[in-house]
Amino acid sequence: MSYQDLAERLEDFAAAIIKLYIKMPTSYAGQYLAQQIIRSSCSSALNYGEALGAGTSKDRINKLRISLKELRESLRNLNIQRKADLISVDDCKDLVKENDELIRIIVTLIKIQMNNLSNLNSSSDSSSSSTSSSMADQIFESLPKEILAILEEVADPEIPVLNVVDLGVIREVLVEGKEITIKLTPTYSGCPAMDVIGDDLERAFAVHGYTTHIQLIMSPPWTTDWITERGRKALEEYGIAAPLEETADKDVLLNDKKLVKCTNCGSKNTKLVSQFGSTACKAMFQCEDCLEPFDYFKCLK
């Protein structure tokens, strides 16, 4: 189906809703719901038309989301009228089917547009991702699999979705028989989580018969560039936006730029709510499309 074919289907759907209007009862409830569904079905077609002419991917996605929202409202309206016996099942069954199919198509289009936008964004972040990956490879590639597996059992107590490997705080691991020396770099000087991580590492290795020695390494200082690509994805899935590069980070925290992607719906129509979130290393944001609040992991360098 072409984009123009979909535009015509949306227009035909809106026209069919208008024609159904004459069959709706003249009661207050019937007229109220009739006016609402005419507005929502027409709005879906109109916003899809605007999406076709949008100048940017972001604008196109926003218009598609509005079109989707209006289609969902139309479907809900039809279901209410059917349950309230304002219209018969025979009068609306074809409309309900078409409404549902249009919703599925628009959802697929939004996913395609978001994937395209994500690919563009990921290309700009490739340098920092390759830096963190190469650093992790250098540290862990020579470790026995058993040692690496034990390290990955230990999570950051403040962000439990991140293990210490993906967080990038481990600088070196020395193995001599059953003696393990682990050198850690705190995420910032005085970070209280480091003591907990050290204790957790000792306990994890003790279960496997190892004696562990923890050393804190302050230089070079930890940066968010050391979070692995796997760790960044885990943050997003957990509901925490991954850190942007340094310039972009300053723009969102100091200049109100809309660059942080909502972890719920993927929109970048987000706003800073507070410089500090649930912990000092995070800021609180809110999406202005889906209205969900979420944390953003600040860039630290």
Interval 71-93: pLDDT, tens: 999 999 999 998 998 888 888 89
Average pLDDT, the chain: 86
- Quote the pLDDT of residue 96: 93
- Quote the pLDDT of residue 178: 93
C-alpha–C-alpha distance, residues 99 and 73, integer Å? 10
Q: What is the pLDDT of residues 212-238, one digit of tens each?
A: 999 998 888 899 999 999 999 999 988
Task: State yes or no: pLDDT of 272 exceeds 90.
Answer: yes
- Quote the pLDDT of residue 23: 67
Q: How confident is the model at residue 53 (pLDDT cuts 50, 70, 90)?
A: confident
- Quote the pLDDT of residue 207: 92
With pLDDT > 70 as the criterion, what percentage of the chain qualifies? 90
- Quote the pLDDT of residue 22: 75
Task: State yes or no: pLDDT of 140 exceeds 80.
Answer: no
- Quote the pLDDT of residue 124: 46
298 close to 243: Cβ distance less than 8 angstroms:
yes
Task: State yes or no: pLDDT of 109 exceeds 90.
Answer: no
- Quote the pLDDT of residue 292: 87
Task: State yes or no: pLDDT of 114 exceeds 70.
Answer: yes
Mean pLDDT (whole number) for 109-118 = 73
- Which has more confidence, 58 or 264? 264
Task: State yes or no: pLDDT of 122 exceeds 70.
Answer: no
Model-wide pTM > 0.75: no
C-alpha–C-alpha distance, residues 163 and 108, integer Å? 33
Task: State yes or no: pLDDT of 127 exceeds 60.
Answer: no
- Quote the pLDDT of residue 1: 59
Q: How far is CA 6 from each of CA 9, 14, 140, 268, rounded to the nearest angstrom?
A: 5, 12, 51, 26
- Which has more confidence, 207 or 123? 207
With pLDDT > 90 as the criterion, what percentage of the chain qualifies? 51
C-alpha–C-alpha distance, residues 143 and 210, integer Å? 15
- Quote the pLDDT of residue 136: 59
148 close to 180: Cβ distance less than 8 angstroms:
no
- Quote the pLDDT of residue 118: 61
DSSP, residue by residue, the chain: --HHHHHHHHHHHHHHHHHHGGGS-SSHHHHHHHHHHHHHHHHHHHHHHHHHT-SSHHHHHHHHHHHHHHHHHHHHHHHHHHHTTSS-HHHHHHHHHHHHHHHHHHHHHHHHHHHHHHHHHHHHTHHHHHHHHHHHHHHHTTS-HHHHHHHTT-B-SSSTTSBHHHHT-EEEEEEETTEEEEEE--SSTT-THHHHHHHHHHHHHHHTT-EEEEEE--SSPP-GGGS-HHHHHHHHHHTEEPPPPHHHHHHHHHS----PPPTTT----EEEEES--SSTTEEEEEETTT--EEEEE----
